[in-house]
Structure 1
Amino acid sequence: MFIIYWRIRKCQLSQLIMMCFVLSVIKVYWESLDSNVLGHIKSYSYRLVNNLDFISANLTISRKEAQKFSDHRYLINHEQKCANRDVMLLLFVKSSPENFERRQAIRSTWGNEVYIERALGVTVRVLFALGRHPRPLDRKKLQQKLYSEDQRYQDLIQQDFIDSFHNLTIKLLLQLGWKHAYCRHARFLMSADDDIFVHLPNLIRYLREVDRAGVKDFWVGKVHRGAPPIRRKDSKYYVSEEMYPWLLYPDYTPGAGYVVSSDVASRVYQASLTLNASLYIDDVFMGICANAMGISPQEHVFFSGEGRAPNHPCIYDQMMTSHGHVRDFHELWKHATDPEVRRVSSGMFGSLYCTLTKFRLLCLQHSLDTYSCKAAFL
């Protein structure tokens, strides 16, 4: 009897120790759990019972106050870049002054305007949006290099603000304002980072279909829905409650790469004229402006957002964007535009092969930051 009692007590003691261990682990990781999983649960719950119009209402300021965010003089400009041309797409690449090699790689691959016009039969204007270099000691020398670069390529648009992560919203305003002033007739506007690969042939085919259908309120990319602000101070994307006190952001597309129709670009620009642009997460500010105008983003499964797409012909056949490229632009451009890509996926057997391949790459080896599993079946 005593032995049985002792065994029961021993079992209970083991359970108590295990419970204490589990509670200790939960306590240690509670803060990170709260900021990630619970943060998303809170934001989705909040979204179910609240209209987000109050966000833009609370951020509304006078035009005079808002002007300070966009009233920067041009250091380099090309007012006639779109003049007298039927521009299908105005493509702004957000670049930093020192990223000459990235700009050069883009010019010689997917951003080559001459190739686009000859091969695809449309006019695309590719421009690089810049501010001033943040380090005063390097600024003068680098600025001379930028003048020389622009004299040769005539594709830099630079304003007199410090080029930094915390001024990305100002760079967004540069793009919206430049289109409104100098390229209002362009049918689409794309904003992209300078470490993104854009499959222009696929994108142009897609935009032609959208254009023929006369689609309005068009805003496409990888969509973040119900995302909560990041409150961890060690994060690059930290936003204080003082700056943004609400539990979630309006829906938005990551600034790595997205496309809007001309009417959306115009309406978002108008919204930006009376909104507080001190929030430095530019893609979120874009979402706030769009939400104020009643515009919602549409998910396209072949926009990769912040992620890098898998390297495979079956992926290239439908690829729109892939993020995280610096030194492999030429190699990727060569492989992604190879005529063999179309042949691999053509016919019944090619289609079946690519479906199985994409299922393996996107579903079995899936990464949240790139194409979703459902892209395997499209």
Structure 2
Amino acid sequence: MFMNFRRIRKCQFMRLLTTCLVLCMVTVYWEELDHQVVSHVRAYTYRYLVNRYNFLNSSYSLSSSRHNRKEGYHDADAGLGNYPYLINHPGKCGGAGGDGRSRDDVLLLLFVKSSPENFERRQDIRVTWGNESFAWSELGASVRLLFALGVHPDAGGRSRVQSALLQEDQDYGDLIQQNFLDTFHNLTSKLVLQFHWGHEYCRQARFLMSADDDIFVHMPNLVKYLRQLLSSQSVAKDLWVGHVHRGSPPVRRKESKYHVPHNLYPWPSYPDYTAGAGYVVSGNVADKIYQATLLLNSSMYIDDVFMGICAEAMGVSPQEHVYFSGEGKTLYHPCIYVRMITSHGHATDVRSLWQAATDPSVSGNSVGFINNIYCTAVRVAMLCRPYYQNTYSCMAAFT
């Protein structure tokens, strides 16, 4: 009995010590735990159990209070989307008809969000996946490429950069620039620029794509996909497709680039949205987003989240496509290229990837029963590893 009592006392002591250690760890790392666990649990509960965004559906207003914005931000009351154009090409989509609408049939209006100093990235895109001549001559598709920009945020170098932009636009005629600072906290202004320009000058475009200047787009695969959608009119409407984030919570950590304070967005979950790196909407959805930008408070400076808020307000839901990578970077293999649509993180290898991904031999990898089995096996080996963060989900291996 005496030995058993000592053994019980020792066990209780170890439990108490363990509990104290756990509490100490929770105390030290509570903010990180809250961000990684508590916030996500609350967000998913709101998204999937409550699943109400009445603050949008009832009033189209995000918040009655104004967020105290940092220097360089533009207040929503200034009229987001009403910034004057510094560079514009109203006739990019063709000649105007009597009703002010362009006559040319445009399959895809392709907007690339770019920073003023990223000339090399824009040039790489012009000669690869954004090449309008290639799209027309090789794919028979009418694609209009435009780069959306603000002004350089550094006042000291702004004049030099602006002169270079004017020369670049004179050479290529594909820059659209408005007079707002080109900063992270003005990305929403850049989003609104795209949808306002499309509504004003290219309303007849069947689809609009918004993309970052460090992504890769497999244009032949994208055009093939869009044409398949057009073959079914019901599918080609109300389309918003990309890499979908569902039930994501706002980041409350002040040191984060994506920090959103409670007074800007007090709810525990964002509406569903697609990663801003690259997504496609149909023409009627582009018009709905344009209408939403006229009605909604535009203080939300994370552009893909603001896109989700606009879409939720207008009754549009995003659709997942397994070969839109979101923030991920593709794995390099012909069996991936044959299906890929977008890949993120290509600031320096766009030309080499374009050459490899569009090589005529790639299409042969999907022809025939044996080749299909081989490529499926390769994709399973590359995309279905549990310890590796892939560009595409495991489901893509079988699609």
**TM-score normalised to the size of structure 2?**
0.90
Q: Report the secondary structure of 2:216's partner residue.
A: strand
Match of 2:17 in 1: 17
> Is the 8 Å Cα contact of residues 56 and 312 (structure 2) preserved in structure 1?
no
Distance 2:26 2:298 in 1: 38
**For residue 52 of structure 2, what is the amino acid of its counterpart?**
N
Match of 1:36 in 2: 36
Q: 1:330 aligns with which of 351, 366, 386?
A: 351
Q: Report the secondary structure of 1:273's partner residue.
A: helix
Match of 2:319 in 1: 298
Q: 1:205 aligns with which of 207, 217, 224?
A: 224
Whether 2:145 is the aligned partner of 1:126: answer yes
Distance 2:160 2:51 in 1: 52
The 3 A distance-change label for structure 1 pair 162 and 369 is farther
Match of 1:289 in 2: 310
The within-5 A match list for 1:103-142 is: 103-142=122-161
Distance 2:372 2:274 in 1: 29
Distance 2:221 2:117 in 1: 30
Q: Report the secondary structure of 2:244's partner residue.
A: coil
Match of 2:69 in 1: none
Note the C-alpha offset of 1:60. Answer: 6.4
The within-5 A match list for 1:177-256 is: 177-214=196-233, 215-256=236-277
> Is the 8 Å Cα contact of residues 129 and 158 (structure 1) preserved in structure 2?
yes
Note the C-alpha offset of 1:368. Answer: 5.0
Whether 2:52 is the aligned partner of 1:51: answer yes
The 3 A distance-change label for structure 1 pair 66 and 352 is farther
Whether 2:86 is the aligned partner of 1:75: answer yes
Distance 1:146 1:34 in 2: 44
> Is the 8 Å Cα contact of residues 313 and 341 (structure 1) preserved in structure 2?
yes
Q: Percent identity?
A: 58
**For residue 257 of structure 1, what is the amino acid of its counterpart?**
G
Greater displacement, 41-50 / 296-305: 41-50
Distance 1:322 1:204 in 2: 16
Q: Report the secondary structure of 1:69's partner residue.
A: coil
Note the C-alpha offset of 1:55. Answer: 3.0
Q: Report the secondary structure of 1:192's partner residue.
A: strand
Distance 2:4 2:52 in 1: 62
**For residue 37 of structure 1, what is the amino acid of its counterpart?**
V
Whether 2:106 is the aligned partner of 1:87: answer yes
Note the C-alpha offset of 1:370. Answer: 2.4
Match of 1:165 in 2: 184
Deviations 1:64-117 (A, max 9, x none): x76611111111111111014211000000000000010011111111111111
> Is the 8 Å Cα contact of residues 132 and 159 (structure 1) preserved in structure 2?
yes
> Is the 8 Å Cα contact of residues 93 and 129 (structure 1) preserved in structure 2?
yes
Q: Report the secondary structure of 1:136's partner residue.
A: coil
Quote the RMSD (CA, aligned, Å).
1.8
Distance 2:122 2:389 in 1: 28
> Is the 8 Å Cα contact of residues 75 and 160 (structure 1) preserved in structure 2?
yes
Note the C-alpha offset of 1:371. Answer: 1.1
**For residue 144 of structure 2, what is the amino acid of its counterpart?**
R
Match of 2:70 in 1: none
> Is the 8 Å Cα contact of residues 329 and 391 (structure 2) preserved in structure 1?
yes
Match of 1:345 in 2: 366
Distance 1:110 1:189 in 2: 15
Note the C-alpha offset of 1:366. Answer: 6.0
The 3 A distance-change label for structure 1 pair 265 and 369 is farther
Deviations 1:142-200 (A, max 9, x none): 10100110000000000111000000000011000100011000100000000000010
**For residue 122 of structure 1, what is the amino acid of its counterpart?**
A
> Is the 8 Å Cα contact of residues 61 and 274 (structure 1) preserved in structure 2?
no
Match of 2:397 in 1: 376
Distance 1:14 1:91 in 2: 63
Note the C-alpha offset of 1:22. Answer: 2.4
Distance 2:7 2:63 in 1: 71
The within-5 A match list for 1:260-299 is: 260-299=281-320
Match of 1:319 in 2: 340
**For residue 207 of structure 1, what is the amino acid of its counterpart?**
L
Note the C-alpha offset of 1:377. Answer: 1.1
Distance 1:5 1:284 in 2: 60
The within-5 A match list for 1:135-154 is: 135-154=154-173
Q: Report the secondary structure of 2:311's partner residue.
A: helix
Which structure 2 segments of 5+ residues have no match? Answer: 65-75, 95-102
Distance 1:67 1:4 in 2: 76
